[in-house]
Amino acid sequence: MLGAEQEIVANQIESGQVRIVFWPMLDHGNASLNAHAAADCIGRQSADAFWQVHDHFFRNQRDLWQAQRDYFVATAIDMGVDQFEFQACYDSGLGHATVTELDSIRRGLGIFNRPSFDINGQLLIGDQPYDVFVRYFEAASQ
Q: Does the footprint of other proteins cover residue 68 (CB under 8 A)? A: no
> Residues 71, 9: contact at Cβ < 8 Å?
no
Instruction: Give the separation between CA 102 and CA 25, rounded to whole angstroms.
Output: 8
Q: Does the footprint of other proteins cover residue 78 (CB under 8 A)? A: no
Member of 3, 6, 10, 22 binding other proteins (CB under 8 A)? 22
Instruction: Give the separation between CA 112 and CA 53, rounded to whole angstroms.
Output: 24
CB of 136 to other proteins, least distance (A): 8
> Residues 95, 37: contact at Cβ < 8 Å?
yes
Q: Does the footprint of other proteins cover residue 31 (CB under 8 A)? A: yes
CB of 94 to other proteins, least distance (A): 10
Instruction: Give the separation between CA 116 and CA 129, rounded to whole angstroms.
Output: 13
Q: Does the footprint of other proteins cover residue 110 (CB under 8 A)? A: yes
93 vs 14, 38, 96, CA distance in Å?
34, 10, 5
CB of 84 to other proteins, least distance (A): 21
Q: Does the footprint of other proteins cover residue 86 (CB under 8 A)? A: no
Number of residues that bind other proteins (CB under 8 A): 60
